[in-house]
A and B are shown apart, each in its own frame.
Chain A
Amino acid sequence: DTAVSQTPKYLVTQMGNDKSIKCEQNLGHDTMYWYKQDSKKFLKIMFSYNNKELIINETVPNRFSPKSPDKAHLNLHINSLELGDSAVYFCASSPRLAGGQETQYFGPGTRLLVL
């Protein structure tokens, strides 16, 4: 299936741990994103990569580090997890960043719960 996929779907962990979420898209898109959705459904962009290059880096704690080994993958590593990191994290991709090619295709989300 052509899609944006994320692993794991659920992640339950203790405060202070380090964890990674992986994202892959086989749509041939140039641009990938990470979003955080809180309990009130508010979606906020965290990072955007275009052809493996960081384009958007919102005000996110430096405990969050994205890595793009190639343009089909954008992983998110989180160090020293805190209770406030509990949320649903969505990966998305778009053909390009601008000019009508920025329709974003979202993955199914990773539900992170920090205890």
Chain B
Amino acid sequence: GESVGLHLPTLSVQEGDNSIINCAYSNSASDYFIWYKQESGKGPQFIIDIRSNMDKRQGQRVTVLLNKTVKHLSLQIAATQPGDSAVYFCAEKPNYSSASKIIFGSGTRLSIRP
């Protein structure tokens, strides 16, 4: 079956350090992946996405890495700031081109230590 999971439910990081949030997926047919950030009391917000024909994509202070061999996805946040405190979700889509649903993982809470 399909599943999107996270290795760690919570992650505590020192301010200024880099954060790495991991995600495992089981559907080898998935070819589109997205990371969302959800701050307290708000809806999820798109951060970055990656297609399965890539293994790395960079945004502003964020990098997503995709390892299809082991079905692993990670989100790296550089120089973590207090505003990065949130729950982070990875999500997968089985087929980039089709009108299929996006499946969300269970989320990782990132907390920042001053």
CA A104 – CA B47 in complex, angstroms?
11
Interface residue tally of chain B, by bracket?
Answer: 20 to 34
* Interface 9-residue window, one of A11-19, A43-51, A61-69: A43-51
Distance of A101 from chain B, by nearest CB (Å):
11
Which residues of the other chain, B, contact A103 by a CB distance below 8 angstroms?
Answer: 34, 46, 49
Which residues of the other chain, B, contact A98 by a CB distance below 8 angstroms?
Answer: 95-100
Contact status of A104 and B97, CB under 8 A, knowing A41-B107, A43-B89, A109-B42: no
Distance of B4 from chain A, by nearest CB (Å):
11
CB closest chain-B residue, reference A35? B104
Max chain B C-beta neighbours (<10 A), residue from A41, A42, A44, A58: A41
Main secondary structure of the interface of B (DSSP, over half): loop
Contact assessment for B106 and A40 in the assembled complex, using a CB-CB cutoff below 8 Å: yes
Which residues of the other chain, A, contact B45 by a CB distance below 8 angstroms?
Answer: 106
Distance of B6 from chain A, by nearest CB (Å):
11
Contact assessment for B96 and A100 in the assembled complex, using a CB-CB cutoff below 8 Å: yes
- Within 8 Å by CB of B42, from A50, A97, A108, lies A108
Which residues of the other chain, B, contact A56 by a CB distance below 8 angstroms?
Answer: 101
Contact assessment for B98 and A106 in the assembled complex, using a CB-CB cutoff below 8 Å: no
Q: Name 19 extra pairs, CB < 8 A, besides A43-B44, A99-B97, A103-B46.
A: A4-B43, A41-B38, A41-B106, A42-B107, A45-B101, A45-B103, A45-B104, A97-B99, A98-B95, A98-B99, A98-B100, A100-B96, A102-B93, A103-B49, A106-B45, A107-B43, A108-B42, A109-B41, A109-B43
